[in-house]
């Protein structure tokens, strides 16, 4: 297999404690807002963010010729740490990035100084199966994780049934509609800011269609295993969930219950994105959690 290039950037003094930001599935590292990153750097942290494989400026993969699973995406975390000369770091993961952070904390605890999980699901909890059953209208077995909000299910059912957009404007309009949905209903949605962000995401991607490989990766193998091992997480853990989370409502409390000593923080108004209104609160929470 040809060596895969992973784009990353580092901000802050190399002598400061390192934080690795792990974004969600099918997403670019720039979705970690500059203002949030700046708050961490101003608080004395060395911050690294990166584009997952098949997103943004990172390399793209011919999935038919060289298929991969989410285990391989998880191993990219180690590649980024190694590339920046880090034996360990504070991990901060959002959505699927939070699952990756949990996986690394279980598998290689010596590489995780602390763990912060934002808007995520518990490792091994079957989040992917819950989503697929919701989208296909199948009943959820007893004990399953809470389903996404009805408006989320309706949006993605329509999206999966629609023809792909044919031009830049339509693609960006669709990306904004998705961001509006993920934003939730707890805070005002700034459509102008959303357009600027999605234009940037669109235009810096090597191949915008390659993000679909993340779905193929989930189907190619167990998306997030192993099951029932969160009690093995040794890193101090902070779990953050928005009060208006539309994708994984209530999942944060389940994570906090399963990881010894984990703390749960609910951010008022936040959905599944990181809008300006919560940047300062999130940065302060992460700075406090990674102090000492």
- pLDDT tens for 70-128 read 999 999 999 999 999 999 999 999 999 999 999 999 999 999 999 999 999 999 888 88
Q: Using alpha carbons, select from 252, 215, 227 the residue that is nearest to residue 103.
A: 227
**What is the residue extent of each domain of the chain?**
8-126+207-289
pLDDT at 159 over 90: no
DSSP 108-171: -GGGEEEEEEES---TTS-HHHHHHHHHHTPPPPTTPPPPPPHHHHHHHHHHHHSPPP-SHHHH
CA 261 from centroid of its chain's CA atoms: 22
pLDDT value, residue 160: 82
First to last CA, the chain: 41
Stated pTM of the model: 0.96
CA-based max dimension of the chain: 52
pLDDT tens for residues 18-60? Answer: 999 999 999 999 999 999 999 999 999 999 999 999 999 999 9
Q: Average pLDDT, stretch 217-231?
A: 76
Q: Which residue has the higher pLDDT, 162 or 40?
A: 40
Hey, what CATH topology would domain 8-126+207-289 get?
Answer: Rossmann fold (3.40.50)
CA angle 278, 284, 289 (to 5 degrees): 125
């Amino acid at each position: 297999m040809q060596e895969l290039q992973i784009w990353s950037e580092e901000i802050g003094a190399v002598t400061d404690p390192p934080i690795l930001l792990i974004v969600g599935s099918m997403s670019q590292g720039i979705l970690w807002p500059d203002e949030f990153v700046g708050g961490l750097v101003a608080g004395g942290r060395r911050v690294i963010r990166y584009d997952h494989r098949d997103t943004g400026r990172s390399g793209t993969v011919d999935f038919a010729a060289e298929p991969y699973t989410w285990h391989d995406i998880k191993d990219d975390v180690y590649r980024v740490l190694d590339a920046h000369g880090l034996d360990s770091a504070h991990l901060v993961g959002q959505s699927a990035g939070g699952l990756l952070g949990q996986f690394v904390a279980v598998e290689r605890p010596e590489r995780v100084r602390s763990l912060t999980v934002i808007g995520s699901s518990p490792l091994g909890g079957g989040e992917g199966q819950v989503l697929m059953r919701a989208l296909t209208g199948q009943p959820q077995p007893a004990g399953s994780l809470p389903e996404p909000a009805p408006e989320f299910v309706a949006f993605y059912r329509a999206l999966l049934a629609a023809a792909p957009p044919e031009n830049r404007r339509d693609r960006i309009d669709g990306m904004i509609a998705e961001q509006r949905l993920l934003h939730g209903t707890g805070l005002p949605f700034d459509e102008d800011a959303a357009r600027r962000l999605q234009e940037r995401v669109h235009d810096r991607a090597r191949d915008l269609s390659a993000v679909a490989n993340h779905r193929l990766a989930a189907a190619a193998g167990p998306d997030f295993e192993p099951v029932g091992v969160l009690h093995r997480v040794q890193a101090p853990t902070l779990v953050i969930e928005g009060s208006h989370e539309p994708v994984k409502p209530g999942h944060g409390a389940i994570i906090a219950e399963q990881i010894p000593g984990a703390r749960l923080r609910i951010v008022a108004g936040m959905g599944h994105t990181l809008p300006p209104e919560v940047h300062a609160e999130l940065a302060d929470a992460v700075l406090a959690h990674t102090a000492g």
